[in-house]
Amino acid sequence: MFDRLFRDALSIGLATGVYAVSFGVLSVAAGFSVAQTCVMSLVAFTGASQFMFVSVIGAGGSAAAALPPAILLAARNGIYALSLGSVLRRAGWRRALDAHLVIDESTAMALAQEEPAERRRGFLLTALAIFACWNLGTLAGALAGGVLGAPETYGLHAIFPAVFLALLVPQVRSREVLAAALAGAGIALLLVPAAPAGVPVMASALAALPLLVKRRAKVLA
């Protein structure tokens, strides 16, 4: 029960919780009520989009201006859900519940595991740890305001790429996959100056095309 997977999921959850406090602070400062702030974390439950949304509004933008970039940032969850086919439960309403838990961290943790049962456990533990911490942190931030200061002061912004790298490494089992990963990073970096927020990371998926074509050929052969 309290094995490596559990500890990893909990550590990611706690780091995310500190970010949630910032989100709560920022959201209330941008003019949202405590209830609205908590509903966003409970129902939208996708960090980057929520930050984008309240930042644009906080900077004086309208909802019409804030929604498109926030939705673009949320769109990659669709790609994740698409690729988690076998990790999510099959039956209709259960799948609908599981879909809610599809975020960067739960996806990366699931796919870093080898066995199907471990994938499911990694997905669920990470998602639940983050769900709990994200929502408690949001409430604390919305009620208490900026007690902690910016997470960047503690270097917390550097945790996420480090954790994602650790979860990515076990998945790179061949040269082709390594090439796809590097190409994905390259596509994203090229697009950062040109494309709206959210688009660069989504466009990285294009780097998987050669792998998909090859697998398809295998299936049909």
Pick one of 75, 124, 132, 136: the residue that binds other proteins (CB under 8 A): 75
Side chain identity at 84, as an amino acid letter? L
Region of 60-68, 120-128, 129-137, 138-146 interacting with other proteins (CB under 8 A): 60-68
Region of 34-42, 120-128, 129-137, 139-147 interacting with other proteins (CB under 8 A): 34-42
Pick one of 21, 26, 40, 139: the residue that binds other proteins (CB under 8 A): 40
Pick one of 2, 22, 43, 133: the residue that binds other proteins (CB under 8 A): 43
Q: Which is nearer to other proteins, 22 or 46 (CB)?
A: 46
- Counted residue by residue, the chain has a size of 221
Q: What helix, strand, coil percent values describe the chain, rounded to 5?
A: 80, 0, 20
- Which residues in 168-197 contact other proteins (CB under 8 A)? 168-169, 171-172, 177, 180-189, 192-193
Interaction of residue 139 with other proteins, rule CB under 8 A: no
What the block records as the tokens of 67 is 């929604």
Region of 84-92, 128-136, 139-147 interacting with other proteins (CB under 8 A): 84-92
Q: For residue 130, how far is the Cα from the chain centroid?
A: 10
- Which residues in 100-119 contact other proteins (CB under 8 A)? 100, 102, 104, 107-108, 111
The residue written with tokens 């650790």 in the block is 166
Pick one of 1, 2, 3, 85: the residue that binds other proteins (CB under 8 A): 85
Rg from Cα positions in the chain: 18
CB 177, CB 171: distance < 8 Å: yes
- DSSP states of 146-170: SSS--GGGGTGGGHHHHHHHHHHGG
Pick one of 1, 117, 219, 221: the residue that binds other proteins (CB under 8 A): 219
CA angle (73 as vertex; 43, 54 as ends), nearest 5: 65
